[in-house]
Structure 1
């Protein structure tokens, strides 16, 4: 069972890097988030009807997660305004494994075995080092928001890890989270683009935007289920292998260079993941 859950997390990592590439390449990220909100709203509305209600103790976590998700997306949009995808994404994702490790220890009383803890540290170190390239400077505007994004990620990861367990049904928990925070997200995009004509600008691009939403929704539903079977810090660290996928996507589709330094960073991340699995 654990092997299957690990594979599920790795697939989630690939899907996550893919939808972030969609967001990075979009010329209008508010519009894209509006399109992404549509499948979220449709599927979550169905989910809250057909799935059992979360346990009463889960509602504070649902509310907190919805607020944190909104903050995360706003910070991520600002971070992507300038800066390289292969840099901003690793900075945003690289902080979270160690922060989640601390948060899970403090709030969920989850202590990893020493080898797994070393693996988490290697994953964080490797991911953050992916962001650095000789001769390239970071934008002063993008880096602080990438760091803020990482803080939001680690916080909602701990909240969701605990909330999914308290709720009794992980999918029911995340359906309510998605429903609550995607309503204001869609309304923001609606207002930003001036209503129907501005939002639904063409069948092809609208379908691409909705496809990004399906990828994002599917990716995190997998993570929520994984939280029920593996320690929160373990899931978070394995999930951040998405940074390796992000580097590959940047190289293949965006013309970003794959340097020796980045290859070493990928080896560190992979080694960390192996230690976690062992």
Structure 2
């Protein structure tokens, strides 16, 4: 399978597969965000998810794929640090803001920085039409942020910090997207990188979640939390794995922008599953984000 995948790099078929992978990552990441934000404490949810990721990835790393060599260990160590701060930012933002407020801003801020990073690191360039798509996407993002500031039924002392945390976490999304693309391109086998990536980046939040759970005056039942974490682990494999494979097959910037159609899926999940009020104006603004992503793809 590795040989087949590598043969697709830089080909029209590889471009089409990257498109499918990026859109799959969009849907799965919206599901992943809802799982972390759901009825459980976001710190505990992420810890449960990462705990299962570690358990499921460990036998693959020990018995299926080879160990990384040389510089690959340093790349994985850097990924651990970057993803720790990303997960920290997400948990802090989810503590302070509704899912449909925080998630679109985080996922939408990332593409602009990713496009710039892909230009600096990988020499990727966007056409004029693609930059128009980025502008449309950003108009939807910041229009949504402005609408939330004016209309959302939350205290300003909670909402404003949540939005700032969301913007900062969006920058970390761009950083890890570009960094992970470098890592998966550096490693000869992308599946080796993915297996060890999931194992190493999952060691931190289970510890944090355990300490947090132990200190709670009223501890939630672990069974439903671990069940949510189990399903969340498989969603994470699909979401993060798909977008990283997409960046190996095709342009990093395009994959990052297409993934942010997840905001539309997030709106539907927030409305239908989490019972958060969305409203037609916010749906329209989230759709504008998706339209920007489509323009980027058409202009490529």
**Is 2:76 aligned against 1:89?**
no
| Partner Cα distance (2:86, 2:225) in 1 | 24
Report the counterpart of residue 7 of structure 1 in structure 2. Answer: 20
Q: How does 1:88-237 map to 2 (within 5 A)?
A: 88-131=102-145, 132-133=147-148, 134-136=150-152, 139-194=159-214, 201-237=221-257
**Is 2:293 aligned against 1:273?**
yes
Structure-2 change in CA distance of 1:15 and 1:179 (3 Å): same
Assess if the C-alpha contact under 8 Å between 1:44 and 1:179 holds in 2: yes
Structure-2 change in CA distance of 1:208 and 1:267 (3 Å): closer
Report the counterpart of residue 253 of structure 1 in structure 2. Answer: 273
Structure-2 change in CA distance of 1:256 and 1:185 (3 Å): closer
Query: 3-state DSSP class of the match of 1:130?
Result: helix
Give the alignment's TM-score, normalised by structure 1: 0.89
Question: Is there any run of 5+ residues in structure 1 with no aligned partner, and where?
Answer: none
Structure-2 change in CA distance of 1:14 and 1:71 (3 Å): same
Report the CA distance between 1:55 and its aligned residue. Answer: 5.3
Counting matched residue pairs gives: 276
Question: Is there any run of 5+ residues in structure 2 with no aligned partner, and where?
Answer: 1-12
Report the CA distance between 1:89 and its aligned residue. Answer: 0.7
Query: 3-state DSSP class of the match of 2:237?
Result: helix
Assess if the C-alpha contact under 8 Å between 1:55 and 1:166 holds in 2: no
**Is 2:61 aligned against 1:41?**
no
Assess if the C-alpha contact under 8 Å between 1:26 and 1:32 holds in 2: no
**Is 2:84 aligned against 1:64?**
no
Give the alignment's TM-score, normalised by structure 2: 0.83
